[in-house]
Amino acid sequence: MRSNAVRGPTRRLAGRHWRLRLLAGVAILLLLLAVGCYNSKTGATNIGGAINFTLPVFTETGGNIVEIFTEMHFQPSYREGEIPRLLPPEGSVPITGAEVVPATVDGYSGLQVPSRAAQNYDPANAQRLYTVNCQVCHGVSLQGDGPIRPFMTRGPFPADLTATVTVQATDGELFGFISGGGRQGLSAISRGRASGSPMPPFNRLLTEEDRWALVVYLRSRIGQ
């Protein structure tokens, strides 16, 4: 009885790990098929047709596929150590209330910085959010001259966030652009189209509060 009690969950855990590995593998494959490809002979890598750079050449050895994307959660070492996540039940809502997601681009324009996000605003944290998530494209200067820019062979290129058109956008619109993956990205996804913008939709990467913190941060640097 006792050995069963121990073996049951362990086996379930192993099964889950196996499934997680398969899922992660499929996700990486889809990611590469959808947005990028890597030539294992030359190291040439292309992401989304627009960003080109060269990675070291990794020889593929039999079934040991070399994973070129080194983001933390794609690393086998990390995946091994990751505990099964306890996801909230489907349809559950945070105690602070669910995010209001406008159906159209216009729906964003009237949104204002929620008071909680304004009260909790921490400039150092917002700067960190910008450095980690945005600077690679929009640059230290905000002018769209981040380190990725020389590797981009076609547009849309990272926007100059100090441009009048961005300064004149409302806080709600900025929030929408960040959430939907840029002005072009938001416009595309709100029409049910695939986004042609290389900017990722941050509604799936950052919390609502972090995205509002970035709006306040941008405002503090570009004015109006």
Residues in contact with ligand HEC, shown as a per-residue x/- string from 106 to 135 under the rule CB under 6 A: ---------------------------xx-
Sign of the torsion angle spanned by Cα atoms 204, 205, 208, 214: negative
For residues 143 and 160, the answer to whether their CB atoms sit within 8 Å is: yes
Phi, psi values for residue 19, rounded to 5°: -65, -40
Least CB distance from residue 145 to ligand HEC, whole Å? 12
The CA distance from 147 to 138, in Å, is 9
38 vs 177, beta carbon nearer ligand HEC: 177
Residue count of the chain: 224
Residues 188-207 as x/- pattern, contact with ligand HEC by CB under 6 A: ---------xxx--x-----
Where does residue 144 fall: left (phi above 0), alpha (psi -120 to 50 degrees), or beta otherwise? left
Which of 115, 137, 130 is closest to 185 using CA atoms? 137
- For residue 122, give both structure tokens: 């921490």
**What is the distance between the alpha carbons of residues 76 and 117, in angstroms, rounded to a whole number?**
36
Residue 8: alpha-carbon gap to chain centroid:
36
Restricted to residues 152-171, the positions that interact with ligand HEC (CB under 6 A) are 156-159, 161, 165-166, 169
Give the one residue of 38, 108, 126, 138 binding ligand HEC; rule: CB under 6 A: 138
Question: Residue 81 or residue 223: which is nearer to ligand HEC going by CB?
Answer: 223
Verify binding: residue 182, ligand HEC, rule CB under 6 A: yes
136 forms part of the interface with ligand HEC (CB under 6 A): yes
Q: Whole-number minimum distance, CB 49 to ligand HEC, in Å?
A: 13
Q: Which residue is nearest to ligand HEC (CB)?
A: 182
User: What residues line the site for ligand HEC (CB under 6 A)?
Assistant: 133-134, 136-138, 156-159, 161, 165-166, 169, 174, 177-178, 182-185, 197-199, 202, 214
